Amino acid sequence: MKLHSIFTIILLSLILSYKGYCQSESKSKAEHALRHSNFPLALNYYQLYDGISKDPESLMNQAIAKINQNQISEAIEDLTLAKSQAYNNVDLYWYMGQCKHFLNQWYEAISFYKKYIENSSEGDKFYSASLIEIKNCLYSSSQDRSIDKSNTLVQSFGPEINSVYDEIYPVQSPSYGNVFYYSSNNTSEAFKIYASQISNDGEWIDLDIISRPFNMSKYNLIQDIDIKGQTLLYLEQQETTKLVFITIDSLGNEIKIPVPLENLVDGIDFHIVNKNTLAFASKQKGGFGGYDIYYWEYRSKKWLAPVNAGSLVNSPYDERSPFVNEDKSKVYYSSNRPYGYGGYDIYLSDIKTKDPISVNMGSAINSSSNDIHFKLDDDGHMGMFSSDRKTGIGGYDLYFLYLQNFDFSVARDSSSFEFVIDRLNENDYRALVDLNVKKDKLDTIPANDELSLAIKESIQYPYNLFYRDSHDLLHGENARKLERLTKDALVQDFHISIIAHSYNEPGLEEYVQYNTLRRALLVSEFLVEEGINTERISIESVADNYPLVKSPISSDKLASLSHYNKRLDIILYDNNSKIINDSLAMNWSMIPDFALDDKYALYRLIKEGLYYSVQIARSDRLFKNALLRLYHDVFIRKEALDSTNDYYIGLYTKLEDAKVLLEDIKKSKSLSPKIQAFYNGKPLTDKQIRIMALKYRELNYFIKDR
């Protein structure tokens, strides 16, 4: 009996000792996770710590993790319980002030910030921040009731993208408007670059880019993509931090080109301003204080010393995340200066106006937390940013910003970055090749079903240019065709019309159309370099509206022929607009009759005579309007290389049908549509219309309606 009692006591002691060890281990692991900002993991371990209710220090640490996971009410309970146990750590007042601030309880927050100041010294951790936050609460309390939020809408990227970890640095694809890049630590403590595509019905599709060369280090933070989608800028960190351009050379190889950072101190938040300038944030000496915005120029094959953006942008506080138009007249950035809404707010400095101003973007956009990494699309109607606002999922989340009746547009330089061009032109640039993968552009969506059939260089059909990617348009058999075309056009002074077709491309309709037009533009620019007058070249994009080969829904045979849909048709006209050589009229005998699409046959038939289209817009760049997604017969024309992009809908052989469409489009008050007459694929001038009206009586009604 005595031995049994002794054994029981020993066993209980071991159990209690092991339980105490486990509790101590849970607390230790929680603290380690907290130090590394892994707040979800820290909370998991604190939940395993049974003694936390009587451990005020751990209660405060758990509250810190809960604040970062947007559990504000629960964090207040932990802080209150810790204080009730005579825990006198002054940081309790700071975190309680933050909780009240996040709940928009401005005056209670001010009270706690004041208690922190009263019980701390000037050099303490949150002393300066408490002074700023008091001013922010006063500002917020006076502003919140008067701000009109009807012109803005902030919307989360949603739980498919955002996580309890951090999603930061959103970048919209310039090539595919519905593809977004970002960096996240959602699967580990390391940051990787991700890409996701949003479908027309609002569903997110993850794109597999995790094995791409910009994801090879522990920390990979996307910074920007040039407007052509051919160069991606990112920060990578292993043992050291590197700023790297990754681009595509003329052979389709992915090239990593590091930027020398010897002259930079703490450089973060890089943005491509124009062809030779980067904007970034840094704590360089000689600034206004904290992080400042700088410009860093590359000229004459060398990087110049960074230049501070000046006092209209920078302050004694921190300015980060610059987004700048190409002439630096408008600068968007985030700052934690006082008299904001809390943390980092997004600001706009309009520098080159008569009365330069810097303005807070307002409570419709900014929150009491940190709002950073702001970027705008080209039209200035949609923005995106990251924020750790307490209405999110946790950590930093990504948000869309939709703006109405705002003139926030930012023109961006479409030229390639000179530093990248110079490095690619160096004789030894081959040493930079990290991966020999052929791409059309760096900003590409991984395809689920790559076309397996390569372009056969034996194809000899006059002036049809077949391609897999843009590289093919100027190489191989296409290069020989263009050489022959150039000679013919120079000798006989032809007018050249280039019609670009695409096939099964990802992205919103307006981006697909525009990217298809850019392929025709690439060929036309080559012809100009060879001596063809720009006024003698017109280009047109019909995208995938009129495929030559049917869509291969279930037929392997159709799939093997679908590459014929990716091509450029070239038509030659004489000075009287008579067709001399027509690629549309090719005899496609190599394609079985069952595979030919009726839409192309109808398109070809209509283009050979008189038809009408409704012009809806003229733009120097990409035109974006939801209307473009409602019609499957949109096309873009440039009548000369220096002319606008003219957007049309429909090919109608009857004027009355075009009028019906016109009236329907007029319901969209943002557009000013009109009907344009075409003949043989070319728009008719007023003089030509009057002459042709003798033969086509319907044109008399067209003249009258105009």
Cβ–Cβ < 8 Å for 381, 162: no
Mean pLDDT for the stretch of residues 484-506: 86
- pLDDT bin (cut points 50, 70, 90) of residue 61 is very high
Select, from the ranges 14-28, 32-46, 425-439, 482-496, the one with the highest average predicted confidence (pLDDT): 32-46
The yes-or-no verdict on residue 392 having pLDDT over 80 is yes
Residue appearing with tokens 């009236």: 663
> Among 568, 570, 572, which residue's Cα sits nearest to residue 489?
572
**What tens digit of pLDDT does each residue of 554-585 get?**
556 677 788 889 999 998 888 777 787 777 66
The yes-or-no verdict on residue 446 having pLDDT over 60 is no
- Predicted pLDDT at 407: 54
Mean pLDDT for the stretch of residues 389-406: 85
The yes-or-no verdict on residue 541 having pLDDT over 80 is yes
Alpha helical stretches, state H, 310-365: none
Token reading at 590: 């190599």
Mean pLDDT for the stretch of residues 492-498: 86
**What tens digit of pLDDT does each residue of 122-165 get?**
889 999 999 999 999 998 888 754 445 556 788 899 999 999 99
Residue appearing with tokens 């810190």: 64
- Distance, C-alpha 530 to centroid of its chain: 35
Residues facing 611 on adjacent strands: 678
Report the 3 state secondary structure along 451-497.
Answer: CCCCCCCCCCCCCCEECCCHHHHHCCHHHHHHHHHHHHHHHHCCEEE
Residues facing 232 on adjacent strands: 225, 246
- Predicted pLDDT at 428: 45
The yes-or-no verdict on residue 327 having pLDDT over 70 is yes
Cβ–Cβ < 8 Å for 376, 145: no
Region for residue 220 given its phi and psi (left: phi exceeds 0; alpha: psi -120 to 50; beta: otherwise)? beta
**Lowest mean pLDDT: which of 190-194, 390-394, 460-464?**
460-464
Q: What is the mean pLDDT of the chain?
A: 84
User: Tell me, what DSSP letter sits at residue 596?
Assistant: B
- Predicted pLDDT at 469: 82
> Among 571, 458, 549, which residue's Cα sits nearest to residue 502?
549
- Predicted pLDDT at 435: 37
**What tens digit of pLDDT does each residue of 638-666 get?**
998 889 999 999 999 999 999 999 999 98
- Predicted pLDDT at 340: 93
Please spell the DSSP secondary structure of 671-704, one letter per residue: ---EEEEEETTEEPPHHHHHHHTTT-THHHHHHH
- Predicted pLDDT at 453: 24
The yes-or-no verdict on residue 220 having pLDDT over 50 is yes
Indicate the pTM of the whole model.
0.69
